[in-house]
Amino acid sequence: MDEPLVARMRPFGETIFAEMSRLAVEHDAVNLGQGFPDTDGPRSLLDGAARRIRDGVNQYPPGPGRPELRAAVAEDRRLRYGLEYDPGSEVYITVGATAGIASAVLGLIEPGDEVVLFEPMYDSYAAVIALAGGVRRPVPLRPGPEADGGRFAFDPDELRAAIGPRTRMILVNSPHNPTGTVFTAAELEVIAGLCRDHGLIAVTDEVYEHLTFDGAAHVPLATLPGMRERTLAVSSVGKTFSVTAWKTGWVMGPAPLVRAVQTVNQFLTFTANGALQLAIADAVRDEHAWISAQRDSLAVRRDRLSQGLRAAGFGVLRPQGTYFVMTDIRPLGFTDGIEFARALPRTAGVAAVPAQVLYDTTAEGRHLVRFAFCKRDDVLDRAIDRLTTAFGTASR
């Protein structure tokens, strides 16, 4: 049979992630490739969900989500960021942030419309823009000098140049996966200014909003002047509470934009889960101490893994947030991250992700490899030992 997959999805046929996970299993490697924690979320959250399931909260919730969760999310946004959303018409619950972003793109992008975004990028963005028939206009984030921490940032002129008459939307992920950059208020103001000048819709992926380090504060783009009315903010429970399997997210924005999301999403998934939403509502309201302890613990683990990687000879680009640290493999004598990451489970017993697969148009990530530090200390230490054995002596 001829290739049955629609042409616009053919470039997305196979990802390197599946291959990396298979190699990790095959070589019994420590898997620092995938971004999921190996410890559980808060006890009250797990118990709260189990109790609701036993109590019979097992049928379809309302399409836009349980009112308890929409109210908790709206209150949380108001208390932490001063953003007011009407829980009835401006907050919508989705099957993870992924479905929220997908519905926003599918509901707002006409074929031929352009979407400006930053590369490297979370892998679902390119696929869903292609599904909508949209055109991607990626702007590179580039690392500064490693001696200064190697923070990734964009060039405002390149961002300006990416916007044209067909640009409809800008997709902004901060804190940013995979670079760990947390956009500053000044960087966000550049983005906001362009959105206002060109009448763009902003979609913000804020799934790491709580996971920032060294005092870097997450600033939602919607808090900037003129932005609330044109921004769909997306967040979710998975990263905040270490329950990535729960796939429950929320989209917040002005009612007409949220209606566009709803119109698409109701036919993709109809609703998200029920019992989990009630437990998440409680956790969003009550588990602030757990979140800040988790943030502190992640910062320590970032440092632990970064130190180990540096000792093994990697260049380390210091992340300000998220689960990930980007490394430069050139000091080890390698140049091709895809080749390097493919061999790593066999040569070192560790799995990682080559950053190049998260770039759309440039080869600027060729020498970069992403490691996840959202793992237990003993797991990180085992990975560090193995990497030091494989590379440490050669590079010193």
Ligand X SMILES: *Cc1c(COP(=O)(O)O)cnc(C)c1O
Q: What is the binding site for ligand X (CB under 6 A)? A: 35, 96-98, 122, 173, 177, 205, 207, 236, 238-239, 244, 247, 249
Give the separation between CA 155 and CA 207, rounded to whole angstroms: 24
270 contacts: CB under 8 Å, gap ≥ 6 = 60, 63
Please say which residue, 96 or 349, places its beta carbon nearer to ligand X.
96
Q: Which residue is nearest to ligand X (CB)?
A: 96
Please say which residue, 48 or 100, places its beta carbon nearer to ligand X.
100
Q: CB of 370: closest distance to ligand X in angstroms?
A: 11
Strands 350-351 and 30-31: what pairing?
parallel
Please say which residue, 122 or 213, places its beta carbon nearer to ligand X.
122
Q: CB of 7: closest distance to ligand X in angstroms?
A: 26
Q: CB of 114: closest distance to ligand X in angstroms?
A: 21
Please say which residue, 90 or 205, places its beta carbon nearer to ligand X.
205
Helix ranges (H only) for 34-180 are 43-54, 67-81, 96-108, 123-131, 156-162
Q: CB of 2: closest distance to ligand X in angstroms?
A: 33
Q: CB of 95: closest distance to ligand X in angstroms?
A: 7
Q: CB of 366: closest distance to ligand X in angstroms?
A: 21
Rg of the chain (C-alpha set): 21
The angle subtended at Cα 144 by Cα 17 and Cα 98, nearest 5°, is 35
Please say which residue, 120 or 134, places its beta carbon nearer to ligand X.
120
Please say which residue, 348 or 351, places its beta carbon nearer to ligand X.
351
Give the separation between CA 361 and CA 199, rounded to whole angstroms: 25
Give the separation between CA 251 and CA 246, rounded to whole angstroms: 16
Q: Which two tokens stand for residue 138?
A: 């990626």
| Look-up of token digits 């804020």 | 206
Please say which residue, 272 or 275, places its beta carbon nearer to ligand X.
272
Closest C-alpha to 137, from 119, 122, 123, 155: 119
Q: At what angle do helices 288-311 and 377-387 cross, to 10 degrees?
A: 10
Please say which residue, 32 or 312, places its beta carbon nearer to ligand X.
32
Give the separation between CA 117 and CA 99, rounded to whole angstroms: 18
Please say which residue, 276 or 384, places its beta carbon nearer to ligand X.
276
Contact 167, 116 (CB under 8 A): yes
Q: CB of 32: closest distance to ligand X in angstroms?
A: 15
Strands 152-153 and 167-173: what pairing?
unpaired
Q: CB of 348: closest distance to ligand X in angstroms?
A: 25
Give the separation between CA 325 and CA 322, rounded to whole angstroms: 8
The angle subtended at Cα 340 by Cα 334 and Cα 342, nearest 5°, is 165
| 3 state DSSP class of 11 | helix
| Look-up of token digits 């519905």 | 103
Please say which residue, 244 or 262, places its beta carbon nearer to ligand X.
244
Q: Which two tokens stand for residue 190?
A: 């550049």
DSSP 212: B
HSE-CB of 66 using CA atoms within 13 angstroms: 23
Q: CB of 206: closest distance to ligand X in angstroms?
A: 9
Q: CB of 3: closest distance to ligand X in angstroms?
A: 28
